[in-house]
Structure 1
Amino acid sequence: MKVVQTDMAPAAIGPYSQGIVVNNMFYSSGQIPLTKEGVLVEGDIASQTRQVFKNLEAVLAAAGSSFNTVVKTTVFIKNMDDFAALNDVYAEFFPIHKPARSTVEVARLPKDVLVEIEVVALVK
Structure 2
Amino acid sequence: MSVVIRKMIYTAAAPAAIGPFSQAVVVDRTMYISGQLGMDVASGQLVAGGVQAQAKQALINMGEILKAAGCGYENIFSQHLPARAAYQVAALPRGGLVEIEAVAVLGPITDASLPYDQRMHNKL
- TM-score class normalised by the smaller sequence: 0.7 to 0.9
Question: Which residue number in structure 2 is paired with residue 119 of structure 1?
Answer: 102
Separation (CA, whole Å) in 1 of partners of 2:100 and 2:18: 15
C-alpha change, 1:22 and 1:95, in structure 2 (3 Å) is closer
- More strand by percentage: 1
In the alignment, structure 1 segments of 5+ residues that lack a partner are 71-93
**Percent sequence identity over aligned pairs:** 44
- Distance in 1 (alpha carbons) for counterparts of 2:57 and 2:7: 25
TM-score (norm 2): 0.74
In the alignment, what sits opposite 2:75? 69
Q: Which amino acid counterpart does residue 57 of structure 1 have in structure 2?
A: G
Please state which structure has a larger fraction of its residues in helix: 1
What do residues 35-77 of structure 1 show as CA deviations (whole Å, max 9, x unaligned)? 122222122111110000000111011112222122xxxxxxx
> What is the RMSD computed on CA atoms of the aligned residues?
1.5
Q: How many residues align?
A: 101
Relative contact order higher in (CA < 8 Å, ≥ 6 apart):
1
Alignment pair present for 1:44 and 2:27: no
Shift >4 Å, 4+ stretches: none
Does the aligned pair in 2 maintain the 1:68–1:97 contact within 8 Å? no
> TM-score w.r.t. structure 1 length?
0.74
Which structure 2 residue ranges, 5 or more long, are not aligned?
1-5, 108-124
Shift of 1:97: 4.4
